Amino acid sequence: MVLIIPAKNNPILPVTIRVKDIESIVNWFEQHQRSFYALGWSFFRNQSSIEELFYRAILQVEKELPRFKRSTTFEMWVLSILIQIRRELSLNKSLQASEESDYHQEIFHELHQLKEKEREVLVLTYINGLSKDETAQLLQVPAVQVKGFLFSGLQSLRNGMGYGEHYHGCKEYQKLYVDYLERNLERPAKINFEMHIYHCQDCQEDLAALQEVMVNFTEAIEKFSVPDGFMGNVKERVAQRESFIQQKKNRHKRNGFIAASVFVLVIFAGIFTGVFSKLYYTRTVENQVLRAFLQEDVGKRLKLEAESDGVKIKIKGAIADDVQTLIFYEIEDTNENNQFMINFDDGVFIEDEGEIMMANTYPRYLPPDIESDLNNKEKNIYHGKMSLRPLKEDTGTIKLKLNKVMKLKRDSSDSYVNMEPEEGEWNFEIPVTKQPSTEYALKEKIELEGVPVRLDKLIIAPTATILQYGINNEQPEKRLEMINFNDLEVNNKLLKADLYGNSYVHNQPDINWSIFQANFEPLFEKETNEVKVQFGSVYLSIEDHKTVKLDASKEYPQTFEYAGSTISIEKVEIGQPTTVIFSNHEIKNRAYESLHYYIETEQDENNSMEGDYEGVIVDKNGKEYDMNKITPKIYEEMEQPRHFFTVQSVKLPGNKVIPKSLDITGYNTTKYLDDIVEIETELIVKDKAGTR
């Protein structure tokens, strides 16, 4: 197999980019634009999205260039940045719409249907020209998996392009197809392979069909070209940014001269207006959370209003920082006694969201607040708040469009049950100013359940206090997936942990550590020198392999032992689809809460599965709750709940798929903690106002 676009992996940093020069970086990208564009097109098939990919990658390369390590090639390093940004952009649905183009090829349409890892491996290997070892290093997977993804990806391409899906080569020889076609087999293995192929009609047809799709893939790539003017658009955006930065620097110089003359006036104005604002907002703002922000001079009070079919929405305030943008609203039903809330995931649109907001973040989940006195005051008015992504710039206008709100339905006890959509049209232009945050280094290393943990950073932002921590992932047999905290003590104030506030940090500088952030209540103070962290529990993933043979001809139920428990296989039924059901209703002293497993079949080891489950939630005191009947209110009041799966039903789509075995690779479990760690802080970043 001939590589289509050979890699130009220079062993050292290109001469033209040895100095931090944005223009030389852009020129280097232009020289490599064809292979990089193909990588972007394989995932987005949308020119504006690929322009965004190039633009962000160029800025990231400029930013990270001083930290470039000569242990890898420059192109490999840039590819790692492109892949990371591509994954971040893929989270933004607005950047994934398909656009047709003159050079649209069927092969790219089918490539777009593959699993993410299959696409990445095919593109990096056959378009960017990396070796399997380099691809494995870049994607952080074993080299043997790269071969597997190449084969399964080519198989899927073959099926999608209509070259047939009914080939049944011998599995022990299928894994050699790619190496044979690329002429990488050692002579003894090659001879053995060719002898088998000569006598096996199934493998002959299977191999020929796979070779045909590789040839078509080659031809499609050879015809592939970058559209005219593409790099011109990217260059223009970079030039505009550089011009804006220069203008901003010039403004800061002018403002420095003005600042000294008004310093005393600002001091006195701050004293008097601060006292006045606390009294003023106490009397005029009903929402206590919004009032607290405004009294601390954080955020902006607003009076925006829109009405549709008797449903009136008022935007009452906006608070923005580096964590999120909080929008406070009030919805009034002027026709009936209904309460409505805004659901960010349904009916909410932001114009040019990708341009004005950070793409590598996700809005915080905020459950309905139906228990507050304010929302029980009137039956036709609901006061709520919505989390949006943080702004890219310090100021901006959010053009918010709503075409749906959710009607809250309560049961007889007034507990929230579910929501019904109510369509309409409400449009707002919300002016927002981003507030500064303060960051402290913690530099604390501990162990939890034998797993190394770093407490890295404390971020004090107006809308949340954030603890950033890292979990070492070099022990595959025992992985710590998540840490749950009880509270955080800062300046002798206890800040409660946000039940829904654990998040994964997209920028992961060290592959041996997974970085997370835990959110706590806001703290309207910026200075601190000591923090106390109280842990609640950890969620562990334990590697423990067991294979259980399945035979539909046997009578069920049948039992087997695993992790100190007896598990019952209730049913193995072959049909359309085939069903496998297994269960364990014993909860007390059970080592595992849920299992990691897959079902191997005679037709295909990688057969897809559809699953359903039953279970119970158990709190720290041992009280059990039905997993399917629990309400958000009950769940939020539970102390450190654990989720036990009791019945798992698996369906194998297809025509009479025959299961061979249930392969368990491990399980998850929760361990309760009562550790308290006291940490000294060190200011590492000044806030944007320049204060500590």
**Does some domain include residue 313?**
yes
Per-residue pLDDT for 595 more than 80?
Answer: yes
pLDDT grade for 195, boundaries at 50, 70 and 90 = confident
Same domain, 413 and 491: no
Q: Considering only CA atoms, which of 547, 658, 664, 539 is closest in space to residue 607? A: 658
pLDDT grade for 166, boundaries at 50, 70 and 90 = low
Which residue range is the domain that position 648 belongs to? 472-681
Res 12: pLDDT:
40
Per-residue pLDDT for 456 more than 70?
Answer: yes
> Last residue of some domain: 414, 433, 452?
433
Stated pTM of the model = 0.58
User: Which amino acid appears at position 591 of this protein?
Assistant: A
**Does some domain include residue 24?**
yes
**Least confident window among 44-58, 424-438, 477-491:** 44-58
Whole-angstrom Cα distance, residue 623 to residue 616? Answer: 10
Same domain, 580 and 517: yes
**Which residues fall within 8 angstroms of residue 574, CB to CB, at 6 or more apart?**
552, 656, 657, 658, 659
Per-residue pLDDT for 423 more than 80?
Answer: yes
Bridge partners of 135? none
Same domain, 532 and 641: yes
% of the chain surpassing 90 pLDDT:
29
Res 172: pLDDT:
80
Same domain, 428 and 476: no
**Does some domain include residue 450?**
no
Number of domains in the chain: 3
Same domain, 555 and 675: yes
Same domain, 205 and 339: no
Same domain, 528 and 677: yes
**Least confident window among 469-478, 571-580, 619-628:** 619-628
Res 632: pLDDT:
64
Same domain, 364 and 503: no
**Does some domain include residue 411?**
yes
**Does some domain include residue 689?**
no
> Last residue of some domain: 403, 433, 463?
433
Same domain, 421 and 484: no
- Compute the residue count for the chain: 692
Cβ-based neighbour number of residue 342 at 10 Å = 22
Give yes or no for a contact between 556 and 572, defined as CB atoms under 8 angstroms apart. Answer: yes
Same domain, 500 and 630: yes
Same domain, 47 and 133: yes
Same domain, 518 and 569: yes
**Does some domain include residue 459?**
no
Give yes or no for a contact between 20 and 66, defined as CB atoms under 8 angstroms apart. Answer: yes
Whole-angstrom Cα distance, residue 148 to residue 199? Answer: 25
Cβ-based neighbour number of residue 557 at 10 Å = 12
Strand arrangement of the beta sheet that strand 311-320 belongs to: 300-308, 311-320, 325-333, 381-388
Whole-angstrom Cα distance, residue 471 to residue 459? Answer: 18
| Angle, vertex CA 312, rays to CA 306 and CA 315, nearest 5 | 60
Per-residue pLDDT for 350 more than 80?
Answer: yes
CATH number, residue 336? 2.60.40.1630
User: Which amino acid appears at position 257 of this protein?
Assistant: F
Condensed to tens digits (0 to 9), the pLDDT of residues 91-109 reads 655 455 444 443 345 666 7
Res 163: pLDDT:
59
**Does some domain include residue 441?**
no
The token pair that represents 109 in the structure block: 């349409």
Report how far apart the first and last C-alpha atoms of the chain are (Å, whole number).
60
Dihedral of the alpha carbons of 553, 554, 556, 559, in degrees to the nearest 10: -130
Give yes or no for a contact between 463 and 319, defined as CB atoms under 8 angstroms apart. Answer: yes
Condensed to tens digits (0 to 9), the pLDDT of residues 268-321 reads 444 444 444 555 566 668 888 888 888 888 888 899 999 999 999 999 999 999
Whole-angstrom Cα distance, residue 61 to residue 464? Answer: 30
Bridge partners of 317? 301, 328
**Does some domain include residue 244?**
no
Per-residue pLDDT for 47 more than 70?
Answer: yes
Q: Considering only CA atoms, which of 105, 91, 88, 102 is closest in space to residue 53? A: 88
> Last residue of some domain: 196, 223, 250?
223
Res 187: pLDDT:
81
pLDDT grade for 179, boundaries at 50, 70 and 90 = confident
% of the chain surpassing 70 pLDDT:
82
pLDDT grade for 689, boundaries at 50, 70 and 90 = very low
Res 111: pLDDT:
74
Per-residue pLDDT for 182 more than 80?
Answer: no
**Which residues fall within 8 angstroms of residue 472, CB to CB, at 6 or more apart?**
451, 452, 453, 454, 480, 512, 513
User: Which amino acid appears at position 342 of this protein?
Assistant: I
